[in-house]
Structure formats: C-alpha cells, structure tokens
Structure 1
C-alpha cells in the first residue's frame, strides 16, 4: 500500500492543476474524484482537459489507479427512467476513467431510504443486480473493476449487506469498496468489517469520525482504531492504494490547508508501514 488522496481535496482546481498541486505536496497517488470526472464530462472542451490531466500525471509521476464515478447516481430509484439515465452516466464515467488508466472505480449501490418491506428490498436488489451486471460488463471490457461502497443506508451498511449484494450481482468485475468513516459512523467495528469483506475489497475510502456523523477527517481525527484496521488490511492481503477521502480537512486559508494535508500524509505514511 502507498498513501494516496482523492483529487477533490482541491475541488476548485481543474484535475490537471489539482494533480500538480498534490504532487508538489508530496503525494504519489490519487483517486480521481467524482467532481473532477463530472467537470470533464460537462466541459465543452473535455477532450483538452483529459489531455492536460494525462500530461500532468505523466510529468509528475503521480499514479491514478482509482476513480469515483458519479456520486449522486442511484440505479434503484423509483423513477425507472432516471435510474437508467444514472446507469448510463456511470457507464460513461467508466469509459472516461479508462482514459487515465484507472483500474478500480468506486460506485454507490442503488438505494431507497423509504424501502421497508421484503418486497421493496427485493425490488431494490433486482435493480442493482441488473444495472451492475451490465456495468460490470463495461468495466471488464475496459480492464477495470467496480468497487461498490458501503453506505450508511439500511441494507447497504454491514459486511453481510455488501457481501449479499455482491453475491446477487455475481459478476467478476464487480467487487467492493470499504469506506471506514461510513462503517464507524454506523456503529460497526471497522477492522472486523475489513476482515469480513476480505479479498473482495478492491478500493478504500479512508477517513475518521467520532461516531457522531460522517465527518471525513484524517486518520487520528476521530475514534477509529487505526492500528487494528491496518492489521486487518494486512491480513486480507489488500495491495491497493491507501486512499484518503477527507473533505472534513478542507480549509479556506491556503497555508492551513497545506499544513493539514502535510499532517494527513505523514499519518498515512506511518500507518501503511505498521505491518
């Protein structure tokens, strides 16, 4: 594992400028954040932005093995047309991420907060299965894997929830993402969850909280037992990037932002060498 950070810590910069800034701050790998994919997708000169970002990655040596597809996508929403449109947008993000050589792309399962009955949950599961089997085909053809992220939503929070979903989809290009902040804020043992998900985990969203909410702080800013988490990840053989997703560490004062990121990087470097 090597420390990494999601590119949208610098969400006000275009991707190529964010990459160069992170390289100057000492980061060697990034997850391309959803805001940056959306910005490229919606720009009239998106092709030029892709070229500029690829040039920035090449010239800085920063790796980008991971990306986060459209954050707000919901393939299981009651409006079927809207769900299909979201699935198509996720497919387009797979193709866009492939242009950067991304290997693992994070996505959120489709969900319905209002679902309470067995029949409603079965319908949500069916829509997820159908959408992610098709998206898995697209990802597999691009040499990528989808990592479905554990959420703080009923039916998509626990290890059992996520592994059952994965079994229902049954696609070799669809695996899991472990979000430590979501797990901890949901009252779960993060290290135990890492062990339960095991080799199905292909991506990490690393951040901390004190269980009062999804604060997305740097490790050490909350109450997660990080040495235990690192031991669990070591036991599972995880070899991806140790990717920090820490919007809770954003600060409007540039020098304070720089210092907070330097601290986060040093903490991540210490954690990955524990085991």
Structure 2
C-alpha cells in the first residue's frame, strides 16, 4: 500500500482533498498548512484513514538562536502532536536552520534543546514523530548523513527527493528510516515530480522501503502525478517478485 500526501491537492479545501483521496488510498499524510491547516482533529474524523501529519514548517524554526522564536516553534509542533494524538497519527517535522555558517554550533545546541522538549511533549501525548532530511540551501540541518547523529534516538523521515538533490540518496538508503516521502527530480530542483520522470533509482528506494516495513507516502505535486507514481511503483514491485 502507498499513502498519499495532501500536498497534491493543496489548493483544494481539506474536506474536498480527503474525499478525493478516499477511493484511492487508505493512508493519508496531511500537509498541515494553508487550506489544510489543522487547529483540531475534527476535519479528519469524517474518514477512517491511517493518518500521518506533516507539521507546520513555514515560519517554524526549532534551531533558531532567538529563544522566543525557538520556543514558539516548539509550541506549534506540540500543538500538531496534540491533534495527531486524537487520530493516532505519527508526525513529520522539519529540523530547523541557521542564518550564518558561524552560527551553526550554537544553532545545533538550540536544535537539540528543541528535540528534547519535543520528545517530552510527544511522550506526554503518546505520539511518535520523525525528522525529515532537507534539500536545497545549505543552512538547513539534516541535508546529509553527517547530521544523523543530531537526531539519535528519533526516527528519520527520508525524503528521497531531498536526498537526491544533495547527492546523498545512496547513503540515506543504507541507514534505517522510519518514514518515506517519495517523489522524483532531476537532481537540480525540488520539483516533486512523478516517479520515473527524474534521476532517482526507485528500485533501490523500494528495496529500502520494504526493508523498513512502513507505508511510504507519495508526495508528488499533482494528483495525476500521484496516480502515475503509484502505477510506476507497483510495476517496480511486480518486477521484484
């Protein structure tokens, strides 16, 4: 089974997105932002999906050197944990970033302080959360396997597209992952393209997915691309048998 991120229907209201996905999958990851923002779990209760929640990330920085921003970011994520607890969902979070290379060391301490607080909050709510590896600009944490010790004891949400952008997908595939985001790109831009249209070897990706035993989430930009991706992934799986 493949889960689907509501990212592909981000311009539709959440209830419409969930109704659209219901005939296609039994597992949905809600992108908590924009039209899909979750103040409570009520919008999710109309369906019996296996839910994941991608916590808010715009304006959120759990590695900020500005303590009020760091603390507010933690509070935002703990609120996402509270919503997740109501529907038995696991949560994906972003690791934060720093503005200047010279600030990395202090920002690392802030990041780990936040992870400690988030772990306590998740334990209180009986929620599991994962930290997603990042692509793009080099001021984000967790762009490569070198940063994995920073999240020791917390599950990795492996975004294969992000890892491909940074040229380190093979390294990440060799490490245990607790969650997967599947989408393709050309190694240059984070396009969230359909599987098979970029440079990622999804046969290797699916080997890692099957080793993990988890439900992978297709996080492609359009619904048509999601459907094409699922067909391509099912063909890869059929070829493994």
TM-score w.r.t. the length of structure 1 is 0.78
Q: Is the 8 A contact 2:10 2:36 kept in 1?
A: no
From 253, 257, 268, the counterpart of 2:233: 268
Tell me, in whole angstroms, the C-alpha distance in 1 between the residues paired with 2:14 and 2:20.
10
Equivalent position of 1:81 in the other structure: 68
Q: Is the 8 A contact 2:65 2:106 kept in 1?
A: no
Instruction: Tell me which protein shows more helix as a share of its residues.
Output: 1
SS, match of residue 3 in structure 2: strand
The Cα shift of 1:75 comes to: 1.4
Aligned residues: 236
Q: 1:131 to 1:260 in 2, by over 3 A?
A: closer
Look up the match of 2:134. 151
| Runs of 5+ consecutive residues of structure 1 not aligned to the other structure | 42-46, 251-256
Give, in angstroms, the shift of residue 13 of structure 1: 2.9
Q: 1:146 to 1:51 in 2, by over 3 A?
A: closer
In the superposition, the TM-score normalised over structure 2's length comes to 0.88
Q: Post-superposition shift, 1:101?
A: 1.3
Identify the match of residue 225 of structure 1 among 194, 201, 207: 201
Equivalent position of 2:217 in the other structure: 243
- Secondary structure of 1:40 counterpart: coil
Closer, same or farther in 2 for the Cα pair 1:129/1:193, shift >3 Å?
same
Shift of 1:260: 3.5
Q: Give the direction of change, closer, same or farther, for the CA distance of 1:54–1:266 in structure 2 (3 Å limit).
A: same
Tell me which of 63, 79, 94 is aligned to 1:108. 94
| TM-superposition CA deviations, 1:78-101 (whole Å, max 9, x none) | 322122111100110110122121
Aligned counterparts, 1:159-238, within 5 A: 159-161=145-147, 163-167=148-152, 172=153, 174-188=154-168, 190-195=169-174, 197-198=175-176, 201-234=177-210, 237-238=211-212
Alignment partners' CA distance in 2, 1:159 and 1:175: 13
CA deviation map 1:175-211 (0-9, x unaligned): 21101111101122x233121x21xx21111111011
Contact 1:151 1:183 in 2 (8 A): yes
Distance between the aligned counterparts of 2:65 and 2:162, measured in 1?
24
Q: Is the 8 A contact 1:5 1:243 kept in 2?
A: yes
What SS is found at the alignment partner of 1:76?
coil
